[in-house]
Structure 1
Amino acid sequence: MHFFSYQLAEDLGRAFSDRAILQTFLDAEVAVSSSLLKSMLSLLRSMHVLIILEECASFLRYGYLSPDNAVGIRKEVTILCSELRPHALALVSSFGIPNAFFSPIAFNWINANSWSSVQPQQGATVPL
């Protein structure tokens, strides 16, 4: 019984936080006048909500989501990813994170994952 009480309290706490984030999205959508920004916020809100539904076992545990619904959510997340993909760089840039905080993979995935990038450079010692 103690596990269930703890689990329920944890689930309710997460639900409260998720609801607060959702309300922030909704308030921001109402506050902006740009239709392009409203559209982007709507896509991000939908992605946020679907990811919560997909990742949180509580919805399955308490019977609010069926396994078939979970499959549909995964498909919707994939669709939203493709809609957000063209805007990914602008979205990341909007946070103002300095380039120094990004690893090389953020700028050139192919070079960051090339064979030469994982081999030691000439004259470099490899720690044992």
Structure 2
Amino acid sequence: MLPQSAPTPPNVTMLSRHVEAGVHRLPRAPHHRIMVHASAATRSYCNRAGRYFVRRAGDIDLVPAGEEGGFEAETPFDTMEIVLPPALMERVAAELGGKARASRLDTRHLLRDQRIEHLARALQSDLAGGAPSGSLLPTASAQRLW
């Protein structure tokens, strides 16, 4: 199923995905990917980590720009993907810390952050509602990222 895009702040894209059971490859991408699991518990095998994980609603996976990955899902699941350009991260880091630069991100699994989960759910709700925020948030174009 092709992803849908939600209106988001400039330079950010939010995609809602339904992922079928099976083997999936995440190709290298020029942007950071934050994936918030949106389904009941799903068991999957991460090729990069070489181990199984059980993802629950709200669990967050981070795949930094330039990193590839892959997994095998035992059951279908839904996920919300927030796409962040590295330039945006650098700009925010500079604004917050003067000359500070955004540190290198590492692939991470099963993170929990209520603020990120809440933001993803709000964007997903806006997407499902036909983007009622209108011009409040710019519309991002949907892309097939993996």
If the TM-score is normalised by the length of the shorter chain, which range does it land in? Answer: under 0.3
Larger Rg: 1
Q: Which has the higher helix share?
A: 1
What is the TM-score when the length of structure 1 is the normalising length? 0.22
Higher relative contact order (CA 8 A, sep 6+): 2
Q: Which has the higher strand share?
A: 2
